[in-house]
Amino acid sequence: MNAFIGRLGLLLATLLIAAASPGCSRNDGPPAEPPIRPVKSMIVKPPELAGERKFPGRVDAEKKAELAFRVPGTVQEILVKEGDPVTQDQVLIRLDPTDYEIAMRDAKATFERTQNDFQRAQELVDKGFISRSDFDTKEAEFKNARAALERAEQDLKYTTLRASFDGTISKRYVEPFEEVQAKQEVLAMQDNNTLQVKVDVPESILIGIRPSDKDRPDPDRIPTWASFDGQSGKTFALRMREVSTRADPATQTFEVTYTMQAPEDFIVFPGMTATVTADLGKLEEAETLIVLPASAVTADENLKPFVWAIDEPAMTVRKVPVEVGRLSGSSLEIEGGLEAGERVVVAGVGYLAEGMQVRLLPQREEAEPRRDEAPNPADIPGVSDGIDTSSSDAARRAGAAES
């Protein structure tokens, strides 16, 4: 019996040694290759600009105001009509001042009475005939009465409406003897000497407009001018004033406001239309900008921006440092580091490493993508929804560090 147990133990020990030896292992094959990362990409292209582009524009007044009374009342006298030129502080409309004159006289009488009481209280408190608390009461009454008188005098002044600046009456909303409320608009006026021209432009032209860049002395890198129907051959230079930073959700365009001096030989009124012409050839001569989705740009540990370029046909990625410009919506200007024709990753950048092999997701890559819309990381199979939220934030931080 003991001999049988000994032989059984020897057999089990032999089997265990054999199972542990490398020759019997099931993992004796070559090591597993790293997975190929699916990414979205695009071929770098400069903005497609060519010659002159024309856009419909809307004329508006550079300076305009809706005028209203600060107090309610009855319109007593209207001294202007629509189209009249006016000067600053000129009287335009008067309200019936009767009630406000009565209120002012009443406030004045109260003020004089409390002033006398306060002066007597000063003499009495110095002699110890009244307490300090009684004196404080008289002083408070006097101050309240003085404030009420000042308010009544101001309200009486508010019954007269005056022009805020030199300009023209563009609209009248009330008639004589009409009751009006405080802050109710009664007149509109505007200055027609300097006009605004507003136009909706696509992002490809917006990149050539910089209102206040210190490194560019000319804020209008795209020469722009306006023309009007019925005035053949006449053009008027426009000066950029401001740019909306929010795109119209329907047209994906941005509103740009220009200014121009009013023509001397014909009349241009706010509300009229103009044709705005932009000479894009001048921008092409000056520089060629590349625009990428913000999701394509990330930053290293030193906040230096870079993109992942794809080396074909090896289909591996390499880090390319870039110089970033303005962030417009979800797009970034690339001012250096990339050349036209390179293929870069636009979604999936947060999960890449130097030399990693990638696989391109099917898409229309040869067409220039919409620069107002970054690719959706959720479209990448096998990648979490949050793949590129950090890359866009990193791009913004990198842009801030560059500036």
Q: Is the pLDDT of residue 157 over 90?
A: yes
Q: What is the CATH number of domain 52-61+192-286?
A: 2.40.30.170
Residue 351 region by backbone torsions, left for phi larger than 0, else alpha for psi between -120 and 50, else beta: alpha
The residue with greater pLDDT, 270 or 163, is 163
Q: What share of the chain is helix, strand, coil (3-state, %, to 5)?
A: 30, 35, 40
Distances from the Cα of 203 to the Cαs of 200, 294, 319, 323, 352, in angstroms? Answer: 10, 14, 27, 19, 30
pLDDT in tens, 4-39: 445 545 444 454 454 444 444 455 556 666 678 898
37-45+289-402 carries CATH number 3.90.740.10: no
User: What would the two tokens of residue 120 be?
Assistant: 């007597």
* C-alpha span between 196 and 242 (Å, rounded): 10
pLDDT at 379: 37
pLDDT in tens, 335-393: 788 887 889 998 888 888 898 999 888 765 433 444 333 334 333 333 333 334 444 45
Q: Counting every residue, how long is the chain?
A: 403
pLDDT in tens, 108-137: 999 999 999 999 999 898 888 889 999 999
Q: What is the mean pLDDT of the chain?
A: 79
User: What would the two tokens of residue 156 be?
Assistant: 């009486």
Distances from the Cα of 335 to the Cαs of 182, 207, 230, 291, 321, in angstroms? Answer: 54, 11, 42, 9, 11
Q: Is the pLDDT of residue 286 over 60?
A: no
**Domain definitions of the chain by residue range:** 37-45+289-402, 52-61+192-286, 72-95+163-183, 97-158
The residue with greater pLDDT, 365 or 287, is 287
Q: Ranked by mean pLDDT, which of 160-174, 288-302, 378-392 comes out on top?
A: 160-174
- With CA atoms as reference, report the closest residue to 293 among 307, 311, 275, 309: 307
Strands 273-279 and 290-293: unpaired
User: Which string of DSSP letters, residue by residue, matches 26-42?
Assistant: TT-SPPPPPPPEEEEEE
Q: What is the CATH number of domain 97-158?
A: 1.10.287.470
φ/ψ of residue 154, rounded to 5: -70, -40
Triad 153, 159, 164: Cα angle to 5°: 105
* C-alpha span between 327 and 245 (Å, rounded): 10
pLDDT at 380: 33
